[in-house]
Structure 1
């Protein structure tokens, strides 16, 4: 590009050339080489082509440009220090005067907030004010702040953070690259710095000595000088954005509340940036190439109806490699492979999912989330051994290459590990998503009980505010707030303490609690550097921003609960809802059986046990078993309220003598539950793998031996009706429609769903093996009318007396227990 053409464009170098002619003295007209290498992408690519190490060593590009300038002695000259260039033949005087007289867009003097990042990791980042003027060159001002004579001795980094950011790092050129005169002792002393690991971590290339973090310079948007303040808030958000969980937190605008979910369920339930986008952002933040996704379609292992995988390979709209055809409606299964390479194209991480997904997009998102979860664990415990990382990788279908991986993340260890060692945050930062490290106190719940509480898989909508409070002082500073914040229960999408409190309240209730401080970087990333917040910080010798005797106060209101897709579909199509019809069916059979004891396998939140307390029955003992302690906690709360002395429940259930809740897997036998009159298992087996469901059937009929067993499970053939009903009620969102249309099962958590024939084959074989009779029924729909019942039910009845089992092992843990003669007690 010619000089005149450059001046007529909005290229960032335009402003630098204009400012160069306003420089006074011997530097008039000189452009620092670091500006050319920092702003001209073509020059950068050429330099990296010459030597790939230029990606991590920006000083190589400076040497290449100077070497090229030396071959043009008749047209380009260098300054005395040889780190800036100038046109040797002068431009026309009228052109120079027009450049000098152009308005810069600045007032006479402007103060810009910046940060000084010391080279020593032990010294704190400090606020700095840079004063720039309309007639000066801002890089000369930054040079003086760094202790050198002019802008030619300043290195300019690439932009930091998101693509639209103008935040850059400025530092002195190291001694080995700077050619200064022997009399310039000040400049020599200034460049005698050690490696600045914090600055290098942000820039992605080597930076020596103290550095200035600032957002100031010429852009593609205007010929005027752009500037905005950079504060500690900016710094800590940049630090947070280098971690997978931090990227997710920032996308949700909930630094203190959100956490990267541990599972990807459905696109409609996920909030914030999707895993694939987060992983791409993470790679950009660490100057790595975009991750490579390869999604492959193959026949389902459990279905013989699927077509064979094709050998041809094409590309979908996202540029992903896709093998075979996307035959989701035919039951096609997708796997995804993700590879992450270093800038030198060395493979550092690869994830090959063993699990298959019915949609290509789900396979991609889950593969990305596996990689993010693995990286998140590493950032939370940077001293994790290779053996630990490898073991975690096996769990997540990940293989990593230590010799290349650690080279790419060499600086993050010193930067993040430093915070492990200061203040009260040492243990918190290493594992910030564990309840062990934080303690919650002063929980206060207010408001009447509506009876509508969250359950796993539902979307909870809350209003939330989080404030920094100083103990012993009437001082509070709001850090974060949201009038409506949604998250999916049971996926770890918020800090565990927040979800635990939400699980204790119902719609319309409010709760507040005090929590110990999280890592300092989270507080600063949220607090926006307000004067009131900073006034609560007490300086210490190691850390001038130490939060002494401070804590966080959370205030929440549960606004509403959106039930999982399966429950929403069932409520929309059935009256009463299908879930209530299943419970009513079981209650009717229990009352007719004159049973005195009942065990509910997979009791969940206790909906069946709760309903039984509303009727007069012959039951004397009821027991619930579930593997989820959260669900059992809700069940205990419900049963406790109904069985308290102030409740009328005991009047209508005068035979009930005891109630218990056990935590344990229903595929494990515990002799304490053997020989009950009735066993129930409503909509549970589909949440297991098919092999586990078969194992449960054998164990329950051969060892637990209930007189009657009632099992319900979805009828897969009915799904087409549920899906059509849901599609008619959707908005005109094509993604949402496609998602539901291609959904094979009713709920993301289902491992299988059987047709009527498959269910009957399972139940009849089970009954034959264990001397039971079986009869079939259901709820929702009608027998003999296609496609049958929405929920199909099998009722097993024991034909002979059950044998006595000697095994006395206790496989279950008592979570809650009630007796009519004793006060209720809990093991929670």
Structure 2
């Protein structure tokens, strides 16, 4: 992996919009009047009596004291307003370039700003600093009217901006601001006083008595408020703890916080920047070590190293704020705002603390957006916009950067043209080794390329606040839509970062080694390691709960139970409805999570969700939930427990932290889930097919297979790629000559589902006396259908329905050779989607004969694959060529048919079928020599054993 440490990207200030520039110069004197414009349109279709909807257009008139301007017409009101403002700027000759003051100019402006803050006029304004000054007037002696310098540094944006112009390091070191303010105050020694021992400023002359008395009357109340806050000890060995601040409205609230920190008054209390939203008043309050404060005017060689040497750096609090926090800290939401002169406050609980901690990780941001902390997981893939739930990857990445005080991520698009070259039956990109991803309705699939097709790649840069490049993500995949490119690229970055946040075991060096797998280049190891270091400190305190007592799983003896030791005591209740989730579907569940202690007979509910919907197969839900849901049908209930869940997730979800801590300390505590499956939304392919075909194509394919079984009098059948056993289950509903059925698949989850379904149905048949099926044995194998194994040799009939399109094209071709050369069923049925039929399924207009003859590729380009999981889809000509060549090589005959549609009507069948047959010869049933692969028997049923 290539790592560059010193590359710096110039940091550009955000450009002000024309409206913002007008507001800077005229404020409320600028008046925008927007009117709707009705334009006369020429009738496109004479004689048409149906009213035609026309888009609304808007024009804006901007009235200023000096002139009035009118914009052109626009489809959006805001565009008309911006246009009017831009015209006014040009006419007035306003300079739109923002020029930062020099350090000398900034120091002079800093002195003037401080003088203005302590003026009589400022005392009466609604600025947050005005609230602090008014509150200090209740204090006695020299403290009356004395404002901590830290308050000025934090609550006045202009002061902070000027200090940044003097020294950009102010961004990460709040102590420097205090140093600059204190130095500037010395130029106002005849007007203001400061203390050598304490960090405060006060006026030498008192405020006018009449103003002070009027303010006292308005706020003359003995009321006392109680504010819940959190103490974060400096030592990571100590746990955080809740505290209650008792504040009288005649007290200065910073004095109360100072007392909680062990000081007499707020003179030396430091205040962090606000945490969370810009409007939030949630901050960290702390004190700096005295040796550090005594030398504020001189800069240490390395501030953070100095604080470490003093032993006072609060790692957890520093991680929250992005600043160096020293000593114990109080996390509280309290202060003055512009909205009201009364003090504003909100309670900060232990639950909120852990939710804020969770909100600093990619996966945590996603969990909070889903409001399902104990169920949701950040998906590993972005398949479709319609299937995605919660905040989008791009929004999560932006939120992550804001949480860690980084610049907004830079997204750049790289459009490129692709040309196609037909190679055999596949279309490949010419002069490019990159994958191309088609997105139709957000569906992400690797697709054949079409000539003159414009694709997009998205490149992402993460920058520090100073503009230093931290990392660069340059995915190789291309997409048809810019939004799909940006979402998938964002998810790559988030997934890579989330690897670390989920684990305390993974060393940072190993994380860097994995960057290439995500198409990421790291340019600043220091910044990334600093971001991750704070989280690792928290993770070190919050190891996963490993309960000592494990409950024996109910189905541990079942051969198809594959959940491992994460899930215990699994019990599924309710009748089997037949509507089950599958890969790509959207199950909706209702769940509750409880913390249980068996020895105390205690069960505390910590999270409840009435509707939680997630996409199967992309990791959008906690693994144990998805695995259990895949074994359920709609209407069923599941109960299980697990001994693996991190305590920070429990605290972030639970209400009473003290009670939770007591339960977690028990040796036999466990997490119990109760789940009910409400409904299942099928994948797009099934939904499209059901809208056009009755019975559904899946049932028509089964009936086609049944017909071949009856005509051939087959007694044995094997289903290649059986998945969750839908074909094998369906065949049990028909009277056939089958005596033995087998299924093989690479997915353990699918085989587990198949075993459960088949076991239930065959057991019911046994109870009924075995009257409605002749099947004597069923067996399920785990393994790849591209590997030869003698267990799969010599069946009368083999089926491979809608399977090969889920494989890479070369693997699908390999399966054909292995099946006819080594497995050698007498009949093999292979079905796959007809790509040409997608134009009907996706409700496009079918092409005319002239269009087909003139531009066949245009038709292909306008269509999308039916499912995001399809690796390819063949036209009729491609399918025929593949099947014919395959049959010729292995001495089989082949017939072509299909279901859905008609062979004589364009564009043919929706699902095309190749029927391979061979005449029986004794030598054909002799096993050919080949490297044999042993298939694992997952589940077996035999009527004699029953």
Query: TM-score category by the smaller chain?
Result: 0.7 to 0.9
What is the correspondence of 1:335-354 to structure 2 with a 5 Å cutoff? 335-354=457-476
- Following superposition, the deviation at residue 412 of structure 1 comes to 2.4
Aligned to 1:360: 482
Q: CA deviation at 1:193?
A: 5.9
Residues 215 and 227 in structure 1, CA contact (< 8 A), matched pair in contact too: yes
Question: Which among 736, 741, 744 is matched to residue 622 of structure 1?
Answer: 741
Displacement of 1:778 after TM fit?
Answer: 1.3
Offset of residue 458 of structure 1? 1.0
Q: Are the aligned partners of 1:306 and 1:331 in contact in 2 as well (CA < 8 Å)?
A: no
Distance in 1 between the 2:746 and 2:409 partners?
A: 37
Partner residue, 1:70: 186
1:162–1:449 CA distance, 2 compared to 1 (3 A):
same
Which segment drifts farther, 553-562 or 376-385? 376-385
Q: CA deviation at 1:696?
A: 2.2
Residue-by-residue CA offset, 1:52-84 (whole Å, 9 max, x unaligned): 333322112221222222233344432343522
Q: 1:665 to 1:12 in 2, by over 3 A?
A: farther
What is residue 885 of structure 2 aligned with on the other side?
A: 765
1:187 is aligned to: none
Distance 1:197 1:165, change over 3 A: same
Deviation at 1:605, TM superposition (A): 1.1
1:243 CA displacement:
1.8
> 1:406 aligns to what SS in structure 2?
helix
Deviation string 1:35-62 (CA, Å, 9 cap, x unpaired) is: 2222223333333343333332211222
In the aligned structure 1, how far is the partner of 2:879 from the partner of 2:539? 54
CA–CA separation in structure 2 for the residues paired with 1:376 and 1:93: 59
Summarize the Cα distance change of 1:32–1:346 in structure 2 as closer, same or farther, 3 Å threshold. Answer: same
Is 1:723 aligned to residue 850 of structure 2? no
Offset at 1:226?
Answer: 0.7
- TM, length-normalised to structure 2: 0.75
Q: Which residue of 1 aligns with 2:756?
A: 637
Counterpart check, 1:405 vs 2:521: no
Residue pair 2:834, 2:874 contacting (<8 A) in 1 also: yes
Counterpart position of 2:263 = 148
Q: Please identify, of 138-147 and 17-26, the stretch whose mean Cα deviation from structure 2 is larger.
A: 17-26
* Selected match of 2:314 from 196, 202, 220: 196
SS at match of 1:501: helix
Q: Give matches, 1:782-801, under 5 Å.
A: 782-798=902-918
**CA contact 1:358–1:744 (8 Å) conserved in 2:** no
In the aligned structure 2, how far is the partner of 1:581 from the partner of 1:373?
Answer: 41
After the TM superposition, which of the residue ranges 171-180 and 59-68 deviates more from structure 2?
A: 171-180
User: Is the aligned partner of 1:243 residue 2:370?
Assistant: no
Aligned ranges 1:478-517 → 2 under 5 Å: 478-516=605-643
Kept in 1, the 8 Å contact 2:546–2:643? The answer is no
Please give the secondary structure, in 1, of the residue aligned with 2:588: strand
Cα distance change of structure 1 residues 286 and 770 upon mapping to structure 2, 3 Å threshold: same
Structure with bigger gyration radius: 2
CA distance in 1: counterparts of 2:868 and 2:126, whole angstroms: 51
1:649 Cα deviation after fit: 8.5
1:282 alignment partner, one of 400, 412, 427: 400
**TM-aligned CA distance change 1:581 to 1:175, over 3 Å:** same
User: Does the residue aligned with 1:724 lie in a helix, a strand or coil?
Assistant: coil
Contact 1:30 1:79 in 2 (8 A): no
> For the structure 1 residues 742 and 269, does the alpha-carbon distance in structure 2 shift closer, same or farther, using more than 3 Å as the test?
farther
User: Residue 44 in 1 paired to residue 160 in 2?
Assistant: yes
For residue 124 of structure 1, report the CA deviation from its aligned partner: 1.2
Q: 1:561 and 1:6, CA in 2 relative to 1: closer, same or farther beyond 3 A?
A: farther
Answer with 61-70 or 246-255: which moved more. 61-70
- 1:684 aligned to 803, 820, 832, which one? 803
1:334 to 453, 456, 460: 456
After superposition, give the CA deviation of every residue in 1:480-508 in whole Å (9 maximum; x if it has no partner).
11222211222222212222222222111
Relative to structure 1, is the Cα distance of residues 328 and 110 closer, same or farther in structure 2, using a 3 angstrom cutoff? farther
1:249-288 correspondence to structure 2 within 5 Å = 249-288=367-406
1:96 corresponds to 2:216: no
- Does the 8 Å CA contact 2:198/2:268 hold for their aligned counterparts? no
Instruction: Please state how far the C-alpha of 1:295 moved relative to its aligned partner.
Output: 3.1
Q: 1:99 to 1:308 in 2, by over 3 A?
A: farther
Deviation at 1:358, TM superposition (A): 3.4
Distance 1:20 1:590, change over 3 A: same
Match of residue 581, structure 2, among 454, 475, 491: 454
CA distance, structure 2, for counterparts of residue 329 and residue 174 of structure 1: 68
CA deviations over 1:727-746 (Å, ceiling 9, x no partner): xxxxxxxxxxxxxx987111
Partners of 2:797 and 2:418 lie apart in 1 by 37
List aligned pairs for 1:389-788, cutoff 5 A: 389-401=511-523, 402-420=525-543, 424=546, 439-516=566-643, 518-529=645-656, 534-535=658-659, 537-538=661-662, 546-644=665-763, 646-648=766-768, 650-654=770-774, 656-724=775-843, 744-788=864-908
1:380 is aligned, of 476, 479, 502, to 502
User: Secondary structure of 1:646's partner?
Assistant: helix
Q: 1:474 to 1:409 in 2, by over 3 A?
A: closer
8 Å CA contact retained: 2:457, 2:478: yes
1:594-613 Cα offsets, whole Å, 9 max, x none, are: 22322211111111111222
Is the alpha carbon distance of 1:599 and 1:559 closer, same or farther for their aligned partners in structure 2, counting shifts above 3 Å? same
Deviation by residue 1:549-603 (Cα, 9 ceiling, x = unmatched): 3322222211111111111111111111111112211221222122232221111
Q: CA deviation at 1:618?
A: 2.7
Return the offset for 1:631: 1.0
- In 1, the alpha carbon distance for the partners of 2:938 and 2:342 equals 68
Distance in 2, matches of 1:452 and 1:789, equals 27
Q: CA RMSD in A?
A: 3.2
Counterpart residue number, 1:79: 195
Q: Secondary structure at the match of 1:780?
A: strand
Structure 1 range deviating more: 380-389 or 809-818 = 380-389
Task: State whether residues 517 and 550 of structure 1, in contact with CA within 8 Å, keep that contact through their aligned partners in structure 2.
Answer: no
State the 1:130 CA deviation: 0.8
Q: Aligned partners of 1:328 and 1:205: how far apart in 2?
A: 52
**Is residue 545–residue 645 contact of structure 2 (8 Å, CA) maintained in 1?**
no
8 Å Cα contact 2:508-2:529 kept in structure 1: no
Aligned to 1:323: none
Distance 1:261 1:294 in 2: 23
Decide which moves more: 256-265 or 88-97. Answer: 88-97
Which structure 1 residue ranges, 5 or more long, are not aligned? 182-190, 310-326, 429-434, 540-544, 727-740, 824-828
The TM-score with structure 1 as length reference comes to 0.86
Shift of 1:669: 2.2
**Match of 2:750, SS?**
helix
Counterpart CA distance in 1 for 2:539 and 2:881 is 58
> 1:472/1:303 Cα in 2 relative to 1: closer, same or farther (>3 Å)?
farther
- CA 1:44–1:648 in structure 2 vs 1: closer, same or farther (change >3 Å)? farther
In 2, distance between residues paired with 1:685 and 1:477?
A: 48
Structure 1 residue 709 displacement after superposition:
1.9
Going from structure 1 to structure 2, the CA distance change for 1:775 and 1:517 (only over 3 Å counts) comes to: closer
Q: 1:373 to 1:70 in 2, by over 3 A?
A: same
Deviations 1:146-177, CA, capped at 9 Å, x for gaps? 11232120110111234443211000122233
Shift of 1:524: 1.1
Q: Distance in 1 between matches of 2:863 and 2:356?
A: 39
Distance 1:329 1:169, change over 3 A: farther
Please name the residue that 1:186 is paired with: none
User: Structure 2 CA distance, aligned partners of 1:488 and 1:627?
Assistant: 20
The DSSP-based 3-state class of the residue aligned with 2:929 is coil
Q: CA deviation at 1:90?
A: 4.6
Whether the aligned pair in 1 keeps the contact of 2:420 and 2:451 (CA below 8 Å) is no
